[in-house]
Structure 1
C-alpha cells in the first residue's frame, strides 16, 4: 500500500505540472483526485503495518511464554530490568591497635560503672577496678608539662594507672617501662598512691 501511495503521488505531481502547463482543468482535477487516493493509500498502509507489528509482537510474546524465555530489552530502557547500583569502593583502613607481639601494650579497658571525669590533657579515663588506686589529680599545666617528659614510669597491661618503680601496687604484677608522655597519650593516668606526677615534675624542676 505504501508503494501504491508513492506511485499515486508521483502521478498526481506529473498531472499537476501538465495541467498547469496546458491550462487543462481536467488534468488538475485528476491530479487532485490522485493526491487524495495517495493519502488514503498511505493511511491504510500505515494502519496495516501497525496491525502487522502488533500481530507479530503478540505471536512473539506467546512463543516466549511457551518456551519460558523473556523478551530482551536494551539495558536502561523504560521496560527493561532496573539498572543495578554502581559498586561503591570501600577504603580499607588498617587497624590502629596492634593485635599482639613484642612490646605491645593494651590500652586501658573502657569504663564499666564509673562515669568519666572531665577530660584533662594527657590523663586517661578513670576505670572501675576494685583493687585499683585512684588517679592522682593534675592541673592542666601539670598535664602539659608531663606530656613533654621522657622519664620512664611503670605500667601494667590492661590497667589504667602508671606508677613509680617502687609502688606497692606493682607487687606481684608484670609491668613494663614506658615514657610518661607516651603513657599519657595511651590513656594511662598517674597513681594517687605513689604520685608519680609529683615526683617526676619535681625532678624535672631540679634539672
Structure 2
C-alpha cells in the first residue's frame, strides 16, 4: 500500500505541474483527487503494518509467545496540553521539584496521596495487558479500584488499566488494584 501511495503522490505532482503550466483546471482537480487517494492508501498501509506487527508479537491466545520479551514498564509521560494551561484528564502529575537541601515528606507532592502498591516487573507486564477499568483522579499519580476510599469526594473517571499504566499512573497501595485485577484474571 505504501508503494501505491508513493506512485499516487508522483502522479499528483506530475498532474499539478502540467495543470499549472497549461492552466488546466481539470488536471488540477485530478491532481487533488490523486493526492487524497495517496493519503488513503498511506493510512491503509500503516494500519496493515500495525496489524501485522501486533499479530507477530502475540500468539493465537493473545499472549506473547514463549521466549518473547515482556513489554517494558513505561515511564511517566505528559500530554501535549500539559503546558497549555489545561490540566486535562488522564494526566498524572510530574514529580515535585524540591529546593536544594530540602526534602519533601509528602508522597508524590501530596500530603493525602496513598503510597504506590509494590509489584514485580512481571506483574506490571501482566497488568499492562488487562482490559479492566480502574479509576484515576485528574492530576494525581495513582489508579484505584471503584471502592477505594481515596476516591470519596474526588472527581474521577474510568480508564482501562493498560492505558493507565501506559500514561504513567501507578497502583494505589490502599486498594491494591494490581493484586485484585491479577487475581480476578486468574479466576476467569
Greater C-alpha Rg = 1
Structure with higher RCO (Cα < 8 A, 6+ apart): 2
Structure 2 length as normaliser, TM-score?
0.49
Structure 1 length as normaliser, TM-score?
0.45
